[in-house]
Structure 1
Amino acid sequence: MSQIQTSAKEVENTSMRNISTTRGNKRQAVGSPPVSPNAEDIVTRANIREIIEDVLKTELSRALSDFDDRMKVLLNKELQPINDKISGMEASLNFMNNQYEDLLKEHATSTEAVRELQKENSEMKTTMSSLKTRLEQLEQQTRSNNVEIQCLPEKKQENLFNIVSELSKTVGCSIENKDILHCTRVAKLNPEKNRPRSIIVQLASPRIRDQLLASVINFNKSNRDNKLNSMHLGFAGPKTSIYVTEHLSPTYKSLHASARLKAKELGYKFVWVRGGRIFMRKAEESEHIMVKNMDILKKLS
């Protein structure tokens, strides 16, 4: 601003000197019109004002331009680290965004794979359950000719074929020796129990097996006070009840035991086995229930 004021003063002094010396000592021509003594001064001052304004505008514009350039340089210098940091942050954000997009794609792929695996697992469970049921049924069918004699006392050098034949005669079922294919005692599930080992008898056909079972049931009904026991077969010692049942596979035997416990708990009067299938009935007038698995027992009330 001082430069601008100095330049303005110089212009003004120069103009004033020119005004004061211009035709100052010359006489006015004869017959010429009178001239106003302040006319030149008024015009000159207007010109000076214009000159001063022009100079001021020029100098101010130059000063502002210099100030603007200096400020730009200063700001660029000060802001350069910030710009560098922002550029680094943008690069990091772009990298993280790309990583996030990749993770989203991997997550979508994994989710779809898990969904497919869950579907396959569910199908496999259904298939395995079906195969398990069929295997258990087949295992039970292999025992369709067999009966199991429980609680029959053991003795040394016993002849199981003769014992089975004597039992059939006692209950009124005529079984020939050719109808008895195989007899054997099986190991106890719990060796610590004193209960005699059961006898598995393989008969010639399911029909003969059913005849023997029916004869045992009828015998017990006819002799409610003296059901089939060891004394009927000539065993000495305490009288021991003898039970003749269908030969169940381990799975169905466990299910039958659970059914008896459930019946005792809920007050069901009847639990029986027919053709390898387990049935329950709460009372004589009640509808029977076929127990296929443990889920059915859990639903009973």
Structure 2
Amino acid sequence: MKDLKRSVNFFSDKITDFEAKLCRFGEAIAAVSRLEEENVALKKEVSLLNDRVNNMERHSRQNNIEVQNFSYKSGENSVDVVYKIGFSLGVQVDPHSVDYVTRVPTTIKDKHKNIVVRFTSKYKRDDFLAAYRKKRLAMGVTHAGLVMANVAEKVFLGEHLTLANKIIFKQARTLAREKGYKYVWTQSGNVLVRRNDASRIIHVLSEADLSRL
């Protein structure tokens, strides 16, 4: 009876110990679950903050255009570059309509720095871009750069997109070619896609939107 009593007490202690460990294990699982929920909430918050920052950057660039593939010349006058491009496009640029002009770094090796032009109003920026698109259409230029006699060769003009929207725009163009979409363009810093003239316009805000094309 004594041996049996010792055995019962021994296993009782083991069970009690196991229950305590099981309780701690349950608490650990609950803590991990809370951390996972917090992590999901933080990811959503970061995503919202990123969207907010991207929208603020997009708004701050609404008066800008970005000029690509314009070769740099020592001692160049940045504002004079805008005048030359405007003359080639048939647009007379009022000196008071240009806020500032600057070269910005590019991630592409051995490529000239892009030129960012900030106009004093979005309407003047839009008129400049409209003249560029009109000339491209008149010359039958679609994807290649626009040749500007005595100015530059294969120059690209476009909206000054945020880094996030540049990535989305590039991905959208690649996907559009694969999926047979006819149009991919930007408007007010946003990326828009359209399969053909009769289809609806799709507003691409994120990579998730691209997956639904």
Question: Shared topology, TM-score over 0.5?
Answer: yes
Pick from 182, 193, 211 the counterpart of residue 280 of structure 1.
Answer: 193
Cα shift at 1:144 = 1.4
Q: Could you tell me which residue of structure 2 aligns to residue 221 of structure 1?
A: 137
Cα shift at 1:225 = 6.5
Alpha-carbon separation, structure 2, partners of 1:86 and 1:292: 73
Normalising by structure 2, report the TM-score: 0.89
Q: Could you tell me which residue of structure 2 aligns to residue 245 of structure 1?
A: 158
What is the identity, as a one-letter code, of the residue corresponding to 2:44?
T
What is the identity, as a one-letter code, of the residue corresponding to 2:171?
S
Alpha-carbon separation, structure 2, partners of 1:201 and 1:218: 19
Residue 180 (structure 2) pairs with residue 267 (structure 1): yes
Gaps in structure 1 of 5+ consecutive residues: 1-82
Cα shift at 1:224 = 2.4
CA 1:222/1:155 → structure 2, altered by over 3 Å: closer, same or farther?
same
Cα shift at 1:210 = 1.2
User: Are the equivalent residues in 2 in contact too, given 1:152–1:230 (CA < 8 A)?
Assistant: no
Cα shift at 1:212 = 1.0
What is the identity, as a one-letter code, of the residue corresponding to 1:135?
V
What is the identity, as a one-letter code, of the residue corresponding to 2:114?
S
Alpha-carbon separation, structure 2, partners of 1:174 and 1:85: 107
What is the identity, as a one-letter code, of the residue corresponding to 1:112?
A
Secondary structure in 1 matching 2:65: strand
User: Are the equivalent residues in 1 in contact too, given 2:88–2:148 (CA < 8 A)?
Assistant: no
Secondary structure in 1 matching 2:154: coil
Secondary structure in 2 matching 1:188: coil
User: Are the equivalent residues in 2 in contact too, given 1:185–1:197 (CA < 8 A)?
Assistant: yes
Residue 93 (structure 2) pairs with residue 175 (structure 1): yes
User: Are the equivalent residues in 1 in contact too, given 2:62–2:122 (CA < 8 A)?
Assistant: yes
Q: Could you tell me which residue of structure 1 aligns to residue 16 of structure 2?
A: 98
Structure 1 segments, 4+ long, off by >3 Å, are 225-228
Cα shift at 1:93 = 0.8
Q: Could you tell me which residue of structure 2 aligns to residue 36 of structure 1?
A: none
Cα shift at 1:99 = 1.1
Alpha-carbon separation, structure 1, partners of 2:139 and 2:190: 26
For residues 1-301 of structure 1, the aligned pairs below 5 Å read 83-191=1-109, 193=110, 195-224=111-140, 228-231=146-149, 234-235=150-151, 240-300=153-213
User: Are the equivalent residues in 2 in contact too, given 1:153–1:230 (CA < 8 A)?
Assistant: no
Higher helix share: 1
User: Are the equivalent residues in 2 in contact too, given 1:181–1:204 (CA < 8 A)?
Assistant: yes
What is the identity, as a one-letter code, of the residue corresponding to 1:282?
R
Percent same amino acid at aligned positions? 25
What is the identity, as a one-letter code, of the residue corresponding to 2:180?
G
Alpha-carbon separation, structure 2, partners of 1:135 and 1:225: 34
User: Are the equivalent residues in 2 in contact too, given 1:151–1:241 (CA < 8 A)?
Assistant: yes
Higher relative contact order (CA 8 A, sep 6+): 2
Higher strand share: 2
Q: In terms of Rg, which structure is larger?
A: 1
Alignment RMSD, CA only?
2.1
What is the identity, as a one-letter code, of the residue corresponding to 1:249?
T
> How far does the alpha carbon of each residue in 1:8-61 deviate from its partner, in whole angstroms, 9 at most, with x for none?
xxxxxxxxxxxxxxxxxxxxxxxxxxxxxxxxxxxxxxxxxxxxxxxxxxxxxx
Residues matched between the structures, number: 211
Normalising by structure 1, report the TM-score: 0.65
User: Are the equivalent residues in 1 in contact too, given 2:65–2:118 (CA < 8 A)?
Assistant: yes
Alpha-carbon separation, structure 1, partners of 2:93 and 2:45: 43
What is the identity, as a one-letter code, of the residue corresponding to 1:84?
K
